[in-house]
Amino acid sequence: MRTNRTIRVVASVSVPYVVYNEKTGEFSGILIRFIRAACHRLSYICILSASSPVPDNRVTGDEALLGMFGDIVNGTADVGVSPISITAKRFSNFSFIDSFMRRTYVAVVHEKHILSVLPSNFILDLLRNLLTFQVWICIAGVFVAMVLLGSYLEFGYSVRLRTRRIKSLLSLLNKWTFRMIGTGLGIQGIEDFERTNRIPSWRPSRIIFALTWAIYTFFVISALGASLPSVFTFAASQRLPFSSVKQLTNSDFIPYGTTTVRSSLNASKNADHIKLAKQIQLLPDATANATKYERYVELSQSGKSVLIIDLDALLEISYFNCEMIVAIDNLVSIAIAGLITARDSPLQASFEYGYSLIKETGYAQMGVRDLDRFVETATHTHHLDQEFLGSCFRKKLGSTLIFKHNILRFETLQFLFWFFAGGLITATVVGFGEFGFYRAKVAWLLEP
């Protein structure tokens, strides 16, 4: 199915998927690379043009999408390219390929609504979730069983052979408790129990125990008392203003969203989604002095507000305001319109065939999966134009730009969590070990 047919493609501008340079008249972006790859695979000659009107501070993306639909209906364009969601009413008149991209709507809360979470509470909550009481019971059971077994065997041998003197069973339990802790840490320290007439001195085992206690105490106090643990506030979903759509609708937070979000939630079969759609207030539009993303950030900082936006808008917000830390709660996923054709267009089957080839051969990489992918795309499409750099660009090392962003995920914090939580647990165990050590040294003596 190869031909030299000329295809007229109209694109709805939306960074970073469809980028249009008015000075050069050139297109770039993820969807543009996709359409060009499809045309190359099908040997089509694709002529790209921007939808009329082009989105700017006075024209919304929805109006531009309507203009693109008009171009397809009146025959001035054969195919449309847009990342904007398509409604059920529009779907009845058009066909589109959407299998390569899906849009997830998320609720965003600004950091000042969640910074009241104490780091110690966060760590305790995670410990309760990750280590259930059954796990602790098993660990304690094994420890107690080994202490009792060792104490019983040593008591039996001492009575039978009469080679040692036992002051009390408590001292024997203290000795085996210390021995279990010392063995677990790679320290036996039994030489400290030997009788000696020399001047008391710090044995290696006591020095190691003391240093271990001091080091872990320092780390734990630093983690719980300094500014470092502020990063822990992100993943504590139980501490967020809400953790589900139902809790959001019942809270005193005001939800904001676009008309597309409202219509998609209203079309859901979930009663909570429909209730939320009725509560949503429209997000502000861009002005001559501020982009819509800058206005989103400003709105998120005022009062108890929740922004319901798509993931791409979230990445844009983090791109234009790198100091913003947000809490995310997924709401709903819907398909978006990628490649749009008329319902009776003969090009539908051709581009579906071309898309399957592209996906198999890896010609096009669809979607923005994370912030790094977005920054890479934005850097490429903006050509390092200072007008678009925003506040994320900090310095340049050779040809590599170093970015600063604060979109936090729990996966990136696992090492810190286990480090400080492990330090807290180890410090507690070592403290009990020190107590058992001194009790055992006083009450238990080995005799030749």
**Domain residue spans of the chain:** 6-101+336-367, 109-114+234-332, 125-223+417-443
For the chain, helix, strand, coil in percent to 5 are 50, 15, 35
Residue 389 CA: distances (Å) to CA of 26, 277, 285, 373, 402: 20, 34, 21, 16, 12
Distance CA 53, CA 68 (A): 9
> Are 392 and 319 within 8 A, CB to CB?
yes
Mean pLDDT in residue range 392-418: 43
The answer to whether domain 6-101+336-367 and domain 109-114+234-332 are alike in fold is yes
At 383 the pLDDT is 36
Task: Report how far Cα 14 is from the mean position of its chain's Cα atoms.
Answer: 24
**Average pLDDT of the chain?**
64
Closest CA to 66 of 97, 34, 89: 89
Distance CA 111, CA 300 (A): 9
At 399 the pLDDT is 36
At 118 the pLDDT is 47
Distance CA 239, CA 367 (A): 31
Count of residues in the chain: 448
pLDDT-derived band at 269 (thresholds 50, 70, 90) equals confident
Instruction: Retrieve residue 96's tokens.
Output: 């589109």
Range with top average pLDDT, 54-68, 135-149, 199-213, 244-258: 244-258
- 0.75 exceeded by the pTM? no
Instruction: Give the CATH fold of the 6-101+336-367 domain.
Output: D-Maltodextrin-Binding Protein; domain 2 (3.40.190)
Q: Which helix (H) or strand (E) holds 27?
A: strand 26-28
* 55-69, 92-106, 202-216, 217-231, range with the lowest pLDDT: 217-231
Q: How big is the chain by its Cα radius of gyration, in Å?
A: 32
Mean pLDDT in residue range 123-132: 56
CATH code for the structural domain at 109-114+234-332: 3.40.190
* 8-12, 43-47, 189-193, range with the lowest pLDDT: 189-193
